[in-house]
């Protein structure tokens, strides 16, 4: 730590629109490492090396030791002051739980996780009254049988790709220190300048799609109010909102064979040569399960009574708009902007892509092949529609007024018929070797907020994908009983 204090430089990082888009959320992951040493008493992921390597890595990530400041217009900054550092919240503890018990429970959250996570799913002030840019909790399991590492960063400072870069570098540095190698640690260059996105974009500017325009440019009084709040107060608002609608989480597995079978059914039914990705199919499948769960909830007698209450409708009133369900697909723009990937851009670079479905069609299983096919192609169409000119328009729209992100979030929270799907399967979490082997399992927290579905980092020992869904209890009850969902997924825990 002293080495870090002596060598870090004071500087200010101006955050951009892309950082503010998901600013309310944290990125918490839990890594499970098993001690496979033949001598259980031998050092396993030594505490002093973990700590020393963390602060060595922070010299390349000084933004994680800064203070978060957001002005009244929604513009964010991270201020790194050498004489007033906002050091990570680093904790270490011991557990009476043996790794074998966690393994036997297939890493179920209930075994040990409630005592592992140290931050809520939304950005909030810590005990010292400030938002930490990095939270770490190292848990040593009974009889030196293993270690759990909980690590969290707020979306203000980076996104999932950046998180993965940091964890990989910390692990690489720790392994290098443990080995005591005489060779230099390989250099890694990172790009933190938020202007890198604008520089990588083409001159041409397109228009947002109608759904994107409605999502990103609609203003409302609640959004205006939220844009005036400090990061801590903003987090408190969403935490209170989440407590009012508690979620129920489960993790499911879908095999490679199942994905390929669904893709063949989709292409055979349409005679189409258009590419359908794994993520398109997963988004469609999750959207159907959630939409049907919401429909089933609405059909419960006590809920149906509220929906069916007669209302006075003028005879000349227009027909009601179709009941719609929105899938918000989270996508990284780096693959579309090669310069960002080449520069190892470590700021926020993800966008929400709204995909609109007719609720009744999405929830119906009368013709499941048509339902999943139509939903998959809708996802593909909208994802393909995120062209560089449209990204340029988004960048321009939010660069003018980053407070628009709060209008966006207030609108999303007010809409009940929607779900997020974020795919983190390509991240390198399972390659994080701190010197004693890679993790056996990586997961998110036990619950976030209803309406969030996460494709977890892909486990190389697994065939397919692990999906973590958080929904309201009644919706989740329906998902667990959904025959189409159960025919294509397996409940993990």
- Calculate the alpha carbon distances from 307 to 310, 311, 324, 395, 416 in Å: 9, 10, 16, 40, 14
359 and 295 Cβ atoms separated by less than 8 Å: yes
Q: Does residue 305 register a pLDDT over 50?
A: no
Any idea which residue has 């007033």 for tokens?
84
pLDDT tens-digit map of 325-361: 999 999 999 989 888 878 889 999 999 999 999 999 9
Question: Over the chain, what is the mean pLDDT?
Answer: 87
Q: Does domain 2-181 have CATH number 3.30.559.10?
A: yes
Supply 58's token pair: 């922070």
**Averaged pLDDT for residues 96-111:** 92
Q: What confidence score (pLDDT) does residue 124 get? A: 86
Across the range 466-490, mean pLDDT stands at 94
**Is domain 197-306+321-491 annotated with CATH 3.30.559.10?**
yes
What are the residues whose beta carbons fall under 8 Å from the beta carbon of 282, sequence distance 6 or more? 254, 259, 421, 423, 455, 465, 467
Say which range, 68-82, 282-296, 402-416, 426-440, has the weakest mean pLDDT: 402-416
Rg (CA), the chain: 23
Residue 154 CB partners (closer than 8 Å, separation 6+): 23, 25, 26, 27, 68, 123, 131, 133, 231
Checking if the pLDDT of 311 tops 60, the result is no
Can you give the pLDDT at residue 28?
A: 92
- pLDDT at position 322: 58
Could you read off the pLDDT of 369-388 as tens digits, one per residue?
A: 999 999 999 999 999 999 99
Q: What integer pLDDT is reported at residue 73 of this predicted model? A: 65
pLDDT surpassing 80 at residue 319: no
**Which of these ranges, 337-351, 384-398, 445-459, has the smallest mean pLDDT?**
445-459
Beta bridge partners of 33: 147
Domain boundaries, the chain: 2-181, 197-306+321-491
pTM above 0.95, yes or no: no
Q: Which of 359-363, 402-406, 410-414 has the highest mean pLDDT?
A: 359-363
pLDDT for position 304: 46
A 10 A CB-CB count for 482 gives: 20
At 306, the pLDDT band (50, 70, 90 cuts) reads very low
Tell me the C-alpha distance between 288 and 362, whole Å: 5
Does 316 score more than 70 pLDDT?
no
For residues 428-449, average pLDDT: 90
Q: What is the pLDDT of residue 98?
A: 95
User: Residue 464: its pLDDT value, please?
Assistant: 93
Residue 397 banded pLDDT, cuts 50, 70, 90: confident
Percent of the chain whose pLDDT exceeds 70: 92
Q: Which SS3 state, helix, strand or coil, does residue 1 take? A: coil
Transcribe 151-212 into DSSP letters: EEEETTT--HHHHHHHHHHHHHHHHHHHHT-SSPPPP---B--THHHHHHS-S------HHH
pLDDT confidence of residue 72: 64
pLDDT score of 96 more than 80: yes
How many Cα atoms occupy the beta-carbon half-sphere of 229 within 13 Å?
Answer: 21
Residue 313 has pLDDT above 60, yes or no: no
Q: 56 pLDDT exceeds 80?
A: yes
**What pLDDT sits at residue 477?**
94
| Model confidence pLDDT, tens digit, residues 256-285 | 999 999 999 998 887 766 789 999 999 999
**Whether residue 86 has pLDDT greater than 70:** yes
With a cut of 70, say whether residue 208 has pLDDT above it: yes
**321 falls in which pLDDT band (50, 70, 90)?**
low
Handedness of CA 53, 57, 58, 59 (dihedral sign): positive
């Amino acid at each position: 730590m002293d080495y870090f204090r002596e060598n870090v430089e004071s500087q200010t990082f101006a955050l951009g629109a892309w950082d503010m888009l998901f600013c309310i959320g944290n990125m918490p992951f839990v890594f499970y490492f098993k001690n496979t040493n033949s001598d259980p008493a031998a050092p396993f992921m030594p505490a002093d090396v973990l700590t020393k390597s963390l602060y060595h890595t922070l010299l390349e990530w000084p933004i994680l030791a800064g203070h978060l400041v957001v002005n009244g217009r929604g513009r964010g900054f991270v201020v790194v002051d050498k004489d007033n550092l906002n050091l990570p919240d680093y904790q270490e503890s011991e557990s009476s739980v043996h790794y074998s018990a966690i393994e036997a429970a297939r890493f179920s959250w209930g075994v040990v996780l409630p005592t592992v996570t140290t931050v809520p799913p939304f950005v909030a002030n810590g005990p010292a009254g400030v938002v930490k840019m990095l939270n770490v909790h190292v848990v040593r399991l009974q009889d030196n049988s293993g270690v759990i590492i909980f690590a969290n960063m707020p979306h203000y400072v980076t996104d999932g790709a950046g998180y993965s870069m940091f964890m990989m570098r910390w692990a690489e540095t720790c392994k290098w220190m443990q080995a005591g190698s005489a060779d230099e640690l390989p250099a890694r260059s990172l790009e933190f300048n938020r202007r890198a996105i604008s520089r990588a974009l083409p001159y041409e500017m397109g228009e947002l799609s109608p759904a994107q325009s409605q999502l990103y440019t609609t203003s409302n009084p609640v959004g205006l109010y939220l844009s005036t709040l400090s990061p801590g107060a903003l987090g408190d608002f969403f935490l209170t909102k989440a407590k009012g609608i508690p979620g129920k989480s489960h993790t499911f597995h879908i095999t490679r064979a199942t994905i390929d079978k669904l893709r063949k059914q989709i292409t055979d039914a349409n005679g189409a040569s258009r590419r359908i990705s794994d993520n398109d199919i997963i988004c469609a499948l999750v959207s159907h399960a959630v939409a049907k769960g919401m429909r089933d909830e609405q059909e419960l007698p006590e809920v149906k009574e509220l929906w069916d209450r007669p209302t006075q409708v003028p005879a000349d009133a227009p027909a009601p708009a179709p009941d719609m369900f929105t899938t918000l697909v989270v996508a990284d723009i780096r693959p579309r902007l090669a310069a960002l990937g080449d520069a190892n851009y470590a700021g926020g670079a993800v966008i929400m892509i709204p995909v609109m479905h007719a609720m009744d069609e999405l929830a119906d299983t009368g013709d499941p092949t048509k339902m999943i096919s139509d939903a998959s192609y809708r996802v593909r169409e909208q994802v393909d529609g995120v062209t560089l000119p449209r990204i340029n328009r988004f960048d321009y729209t939010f660069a003018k007024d980053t407070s628009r992100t709060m209008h966006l979030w207030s609108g999303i929270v007010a809409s009940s018929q929607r779900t997020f799907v974020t795919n983190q399967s390509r991240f390198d979490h399972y390659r994080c070797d701190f010197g004693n082997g890679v993790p056996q399992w990586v997961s998110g927290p036990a619950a976030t907020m209803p309406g969030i579905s996460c494709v977890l980092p892909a486990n190389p020992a697994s065939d397919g994908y692990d999906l973590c869904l958080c929904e309201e209890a009644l919706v989740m009850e329906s998902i667990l009983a959904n025959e189409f969902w159960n025919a294509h997924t397996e409940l993990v825990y």
